[in-house]
Every structure is written in structure tokens, then in C-alpha cells.
Structure 1
Amino acid sequence: MFYLNPVLTWRYLQIGDKESKDRKPLPNSPMGNAHAEVGALQQTANKGLTEGADAVMKVTGKDLCDYCQKDVVAMAKASKLNSLKIYAETDDAYRFYEWEAGMARFKITETPK
């Protein structure tokens, strides 16, 4: 198991570029506007540390946005993680995101502060 520190990277995303209806790039596409959670996974995958691994990430200050909830699962699949757990702390709650290989999306548990 290893712990990820969400730090932004400027490499290319493995899950592909996406655009909104008005042709503007969506968050996490390309890596130049990626959120830190996606960047941390990309950096780890680039170092060859993800295949078959269990990873834990802590996010403070903000919760995972809707884009990241989908893109982080796509990154976990693409990087061949075995599992990923994310602890997110917001002003009013703690959220626990849990994903294991074979799952389509996160299982989310929330606890008020």
C-alpha cells in the first residue's frame, strides 16, 4: 500500500481529452488543467507504482468534484490499481471514497463533523 500526495503534474492524461458543448476543455482534460487528485495518480502511474497496488489518498479543504469522481476511477482502472481509498475533509463533513478493481464507481460514505 502507498499513500498519494495530491500534487499537480503537467503530463498527458491517460483517459483522453474531453470538451464541453461549447468546445472548452473540461477539468482534467488535458493534464494542464487537471485537478490534483488526477495529477497524483498520473505521477504514480508514470513511475510504475500502481499495477496491482492498493493506494490511499487524503484530500483536505475541498471534496472531490463530480469530474474527479469519474476521472479518478478511470485513472485507477487505467493504471491497474487493485484498490483506492480517498479520505476527503470538507468544512462540514468527512467523506470516504472506496474503489476496488471491477467496480464501476466509488462507494461513498459520509460522516458529519
Structure 2
Amino acid sequence: MVINTTTASLLRVFIGESDEYQGGPLHEAIVLKAREMGLAGATMLRGPMGYGRSSRLHSSKILRLSADLPLVIELVDDEARIEALVEALQPMLGGALVTLETVRVVRYGHEAGLD
């Protein structure tokens, strides 16, 4: 079987749930900017536990409730669109960890008749 793939860029932005931009949640600002710029899509993942540069543990455990759980926003699109987004996000990102890698897209979209 031959699998047809295409190359794209994967952008990951690691932030905290309490991070803000212009008085609102940073994760919302990032997703809305990606949508405004016409990127294929964005997914925000909320982690139950993590830590960053400070080594301070953020956890959703009941005995140690954190209001600053780790978030990861993933975006996949062609390299030019991702690079344009990274440039547009620069004023928002502060101390965020941002990674970029090349990925192979195996499938995007849906087949006719399948929902």
C-alpha cells in the first residue's frame, strides 16, 4: 500500500492556563489569531500536571488544586502560514515555550458521505 503524504509544519505553544494577553486568556488570543489568519486549525490541550522553568509543579490533584494548569496549543499548516503566525504571535508570547517541527500529514479532511 502506498500512502500519499504531504509535508507541513507543526507549531506547539506551551503556556499556563492563567497566562493573559490584553486582559484575556492567552490561549484564546492565540487560537483566535490563528483563525483570523486562516490557518487550517488549532487544538488546545489541557494537561493535568506539569512544570516549567521555575520547576513549580502545577497539578489538578484534588489535594493540591492549581489554577494554572499547563496548556499546549498545536497548529498544523504549511510552513509559510505557520511562520507568519509565529511572527504575529511574538508580542503575545512572553515566557512561552514555542516549538516548530516538520511533520508528514497523512490525511486531512473527510471523505464524501462520511460524517
TM-score of Structure 1 vs Structure 2, range by shorter chain: under 0.3
Larger Rg over CA atoms: 2
Instruction: Give TM-score scaled by structure 1 length.
Output: 0.27
**Which structure is richer in relative contact order (CA contacts within 8 A, separation 6 or more)?**
2
Instruction: Give TM-score scaled by structure 2 length.
Output: 0.27
